[in-house]
Structure 1
Amino acid sequence: MKRRIIPILIAMLLFSAFPAYAKVEKDGRLWQDESVYSIMVDRFNNGDIKNDVDVDATNPLGYNGGDFQGIIDKLDYIHDMGFTTIRLTPIFDNAKSGYHGYWVTDFYKTDEHFGSLKTFQKLIKEAHKRKMKVILDFVTNNVAPSHPWVSDTGKQKWFHPKQAIKDWDNQQQIENGWVDGLPDLNQENPKVSKYLIDAAKWWVQKTNIDGYSLPEVNHVPLNFWSDFSKAVKKEKKDFFLLGIPSKTTFVDVNKYQAAGLDSVLDFGRSQDLRQVFAGTDQTVPAESTEFDKNQKAEQSANFLDNENTIRFTHDIVDKRQFPGSRWKTALTYLYTTPGIPVVYYGTEIALNGTDIPDNRRQMNFRAEKEMIDYITKIAELRNQLPSLTRGTFEMLYNKDGMIVYKRIYKGETSVVAINNTNKSQKVTLTADQLAGGKNKEIRGLLEGDLVRSHKGQYILIQDRDHAEIYVLTEKTGINIPLVGSLTVVWILVFVFLYFILKRRKRNSID
């Protein structure tokens, strides 16, 4: 009995002796607490070879075999990295070679290459079992040239007259022009509007998805989005709408949020961050740090690349930098600033790629774990610290690649320091900057750094290519409970050894 009890007491004493920061509890789960793993269905994972119709894994412009079952098989992989939501490219029936999902031929059928509606419903259920949400691309701007509507003489008014977009600063041309020669839907026609909204509602009812991402959102009139958002959000509480604009134009995010969308990808901010973090020694532009100017900044979708852009890894390699280091500092910023991080599949293996379709390469699951482990760690801290998802934001230092900022929520203060320079850096913070942080300490949770206040100052020293996520806590000084607990532990160890030796001696005499 003694052999069992003493080790248990030792473990309990040691566990209770180590200092811990006071954790602030979240009230429920909000969309700003989510982190999104963005998947191009055809390029992620082939889980069912039975639906490999006309599949050619060597053809970057054709179907490569990814499907619903492949995603189901990898849900634990995604979940274990800390992602709480997956976003999928369109799954509706597509024209030949429509691997990307944007050449829709039927809004009420799944693409046979991806699997059945039943398998997709299973995917949603399996995700929900893991408390993960699912966002699905819903195409509203155009259809495939082979869609039955295009040749239907009774539906000619369902489309805008064929015309190219010549002036990308002209909103009327953007809304009425044909993108890449695809028939452009006329959402101002009540029949078109009703059809699209009814189809969107049907998918929510049938599958219980949690949100829609909306490609080419700026090619569709705002009044349609107002009607769309009101109707679709009635189908499910807390349903999320994410706008994805074409990257060639500036988009006023506030206008789309006013129309009922919850968030819109900000390509301007993405380009700023790519410029800063692909290399070193670059100051983050002021406009990309002014989160408080947008009342819904906490729901802004922050990203570095996606299926329509060159891979961020290519930017890094182009500047002759090491992808792992650059990705780590960039992701730390993405995960700890206001908004929802949206991470493109393959980021965890620094997948490379230039323009479409090279940026849509097949996922490779046989890769080194360094990046995966890092993403897992920062995701864990993001999920544990409400200040990183709900807190106020204040930049404390931003110069030539060295960045320090704080976030505060319900008394919890996080301080993030990112050294994206080519040498070690030192930054001195004051107690006033840390909102009354006099005689306290900031404890690093990412790499274990500890900085105590000294004469009202905190001196942060960061190695190059490193980041740390700190929390402000009471100064520990000499840890009396730890010293006392260790003393008790040693006494118990000696008592335990005494009884063991005494028993052995008695047995030897007998």
Structure 2
Amino acid sequence: MKVKRWFGLLATLFLLVSTVNPAAVFADEKRTIEDKSIYDLLVDRFNNGNGNNDFDVNARDLSAFNGGDFNGIVERLPHITTMGFTTVSLGPVFEAESYDGNKVLDYTKLDPHFGTADEFVEMISALHDEDLYVIADFPLGGVSANHVWAQNGTLKPVPAADGTIDWDSSDAAVQSALKEAIMEFVDTYKLDGIRLTKIADFDTAFLNEVIQVVKAVNPEGYVLTNEVSDADFDAAPNFEKMEALRKSFVTFDPDSAPLSLFTNDDQGELIQFDELTGPRFTFDIVEARMFPPTRWKLAVTALFSMPGTPIMPYGTEIAVNGEAPPENHQLMNFKTDEELIEFISNLNTLRNQSEAFRNGDFEMLHNEGGFTVFKRSSDDETWIVALNNTTETSSLEIPKEVIGNDKLLRGVLGGDLVREGKDGVFRIVNDREVAEIYIADEDKGFNTPYLIASIMVYVLFFGFLFLVWRKGRQRR
């Protein structure tokens, strides 16, 4: 069955490449945040690539620096590109008191645990060579009480909790200093954008001024936030939809009605269900006594096929557990089973090749009791996504008016094939707790080339097994 799934996926990708010009899809002037998929990581927790900066490092203490650095990201870059992500989002990289970049000490210096300025530039260059965008966090508050601006009296701090301070958001000097620091950060390191965090104390007018500053330095750059805001961010989170995703897949037979929140009006929305600031998705799964691999496959299929720009935190691909920092910020383990990694790669590859999944129309066809079916379409493509998050086999009848004339539905995850019935209806049937994605392909009747290719796959596979068996007998 796994061979069949791989062949179905490869056949679909070939169909997409033959009908859609990738160069046109990804032309720079046409790129929007909706075209992106974001891999979100903490530098300290990704990979240790340079032992020379391992001072005060203790990989056994989750509250301490664990050794991840800029060189480590370059070293493990294939891990990110293999999964098909187009953007890497970095947690704060400034000199700070904590491993996660919180409690910033100086906006003009990089944390020495992560590497030098030259190594940061080299890392960004390496990511750019792989056509990856690089975005970094810039916290507007919650900095260390020992921040250089507070220590030298440059700006007057506002005391906050846990040894942190905020800035007086109404102070013109504060606003000017922050805008200057942001402009210098983006310009010096040629970043493709920033994500503003800790923005609650700042009004919309100031945030829009910051956005304009970034756009002046890099007109193609993105300005994101991880908080709700009325400012003109390129994208901001929709927490209601994120919660809908999480609750709809953490257990089987859920109330999936909240998924109806997803519509065509989802531009500029960041979507994720796993997170670094609270309980990881695996934590909720384990608490509900569910089987993580099944839950994850359904959830990531929804993430990469529903409207919005998907964000996936590091560790999602290996189902990292943990309720809160630092337990949910485990050092990345690259020696784990790669089944989920491959599954994410397949989904992201489809999304990268398909205009319909990134910017196409969305139509909910069915959503009841955990069985959710929706359509994604553009002028050139039509897809049907079926998510059966129930404990029973589920089915749905779809009229041909939804699919189109002379079409068949070809499943790319499970290899299912659905043809139009004599009554003009497509009947899709999905096993319990399984996701399937169908592409509407031309139905030319008896598909001889596909059949021959399928037979060849099996002939080659069993031929290989026979050679291995015969070689084993010869050694006896």
TM-score range, shorter chain: 0.7 to 0.9
User: Counterpart of 1:312?
Assistant: 281
2:182, 2:214 within 8 Å by CA — same for their partners in 1?
A: yes
Matching residue of 1:331: 300
User: Could you give the per-residue CA deviations for residues 164-193 of structure 1, whole angstroms, max 9, x where no partner exists?
Assistant: xxxxxxxxxxxxxx3545211123212211
Superposed displacement of residue 290, structure 1: 3.4
Structure 1 residues 355 and 77, CA, compared in 2 at 3 Å: closer, same or farther? same
- Which residue matches 1:200? 182
Task: Report the Cα distance in structure 1 between the residues aligned to 2:342 and 2:242, rounded to whole angstroms.
Answer: 24
- Structure 1 stretch 43-52 or stretch 264-273: which is displaced more? 264-273
- Report what 2:148 is aligned to: 148
1:266 paired with 2:238, answer: yes
**For residues 120 and 429 of structure 2, what CA distance do their matches in structure 1 show?**
49
Compute the displacement of 1:317 (Å): 0.8
Partner of residue 503, structure 1: none
The answer on whether the counterparts of 2:371 and 2:390 sit within 8 Å (CA) in structure 1 is yes
Q: After superposition, where does 1:482-493 map in structure 2 within 5 Å?
A: none
Partner amino acid, structure 2, of 1:472: A
Q: Deviations over 1:446-493 (max 9, x none)?
A: 22211111121110111122211111122121236779x99xx9xxxx
Structure 1 residues 179-188 or 109-118, which shifts more? 179-188
Which stretches in structure 1 are left out of the alignment for 5+ residues? Answer: 1-14, 163-177, 246-250, 490-510
Q: Deviations over 1:112-139 (max 9, x none)?
A: 1000010000011000101111110011
Q: Which residue of 2 aligns with 1:126?
A: 126
SS of match in other structure, 2:402: coil
Match of 2:85 in 1: 83
Assess, with a 3 A threshold, how the Cα gap between structure 1 residues 93 and 451 changes in structure 2: closer, same or farther.
Answer: same
**1:336-347 equivalences in 2 (<5 Å):** 336-347=305-316
Aligned length: 436
Q: Bigger CA drift: 196-205 or 473-482? A: 473-482
CA contact (8 A) 2:245 2:259 kept: no
1:152 CA drift (Å): 4.0
- Answering whether residue 359 of structure 2 is matched by residue 377 of structure 1, we say no
Question: In the alignment, what sits opposite 1:117?
Answer: 117
State the match for 1:171 in structure 2.
Answer: none
- Is 1:407 paired with 2:376? yes
Letter in structure 2 aligned against 1:31: I
Q: Secondary structure at the match of 2:95?
A: strand
Distance 1:153 1:208 in 2: 30
Q: What is the match of residue 192 of structure 2? A: 210
Q: Report the residue type matching 1:23 in the other structure.
A: T
Change (3 A) 1:302 1:288: farther
Distance 1:261 1:218 in 2: 14
Over residues 18-66 of structure 1, what are the superposed CA-to-partner deviations in whole Å (9 max), with x where a residue is unaligned? 9946633426233212111110111111111110111111222111111
Mapped partners of 2:62, 2:328: distance in 1:
10
Partner residue of 1:221?
Answer: 203
Is contact 1:283–1:402 with CA below 8 Å preserved after alignment? no
1:240 aligned to which of 205, 222, 237: 222
Q: Residue deviations 1:264-308, cap 9 Å, x none?
A: 12222222221111101123334653333x4xx233110112221
User: Equivalent residue for 1:31?
Assistant: 33
* Alignment of structure 1 residues 354-365 onto 2, 5 Å: 354-365=323-334
Contact kept, 8 Å, 2:241 with 2:262, in 1: the verdict is no
Separation in 2, partners of 1:128, 1:231: 22
Q: Which runs of 5+ in 2 are unaligned?
A: 1-9, 457-476
Matched, 1:471 2:443: no
Cα distance, 1:73 vs structure 2: 0.5
d(CA) in 1 for partners of 2:396, 2:103: 52
Q: Which amino acid in structure 1 is aligned with residue 416 of structure 2?
A: D
Structure 1 residue 327 displacement after superposition: 0.6
1:9 corresponds to: none
Distance in 2, matches of 1:180 and 1:396, equals 49
Give the distance between the partners of 1:283 and 1:407, measured in 2 at CA. 22
- Counterpart residue number, 1:277: 249
The code of the aligned residue for 1:206 comes to T
Query: Would you say the 8 A contact 2:155–2:173 is kept in 1?
Result: no
Is the Cα–Cα contact under 8 Å of residues 299 and 340 in structure 1 kept in the other structure? yes
Q: Which residue is equivalent to 1:506?
A: none
Overall identity of the aligned pairs, in %: 35
Q: Residue 318 of structure 2: which of 346, 349, 357 is its match?
A: 349
Is 2:167 the counterpart of 1:185?
yes
The 1:333/1:19 distance shift into structure 2, 3 A limit, reads closer
The answer to whether residue 54 in structure 2 is matched with residue 52 in structure 1 is yes
Contact 1:40 1:307 in 2 (8 A): no
* TM norm structure 1: 0.81
Query: Aligned partners of 2:284, 2:384: CA distance in 1, in Å?
Result: 28
Q: Distance in 1 between matches of 2:165 and 2:281?
A: 31
Counterpart of 1:94, as a letter, is A
Q: Are 2:409 and 1:442 equivalent residues in the alignment?
A: yes
**8 Å Cα contact 1:438/1:456 also seen in 2:** no
1:394 alignment partner in structure 2: 363
1:298 aligned counterpart, secondary structure = coil
- The aligned residue for residue 103 of structure 2 is 103
Secondary structure, in 3 states, of the residue corresponding to 2:435?
strand
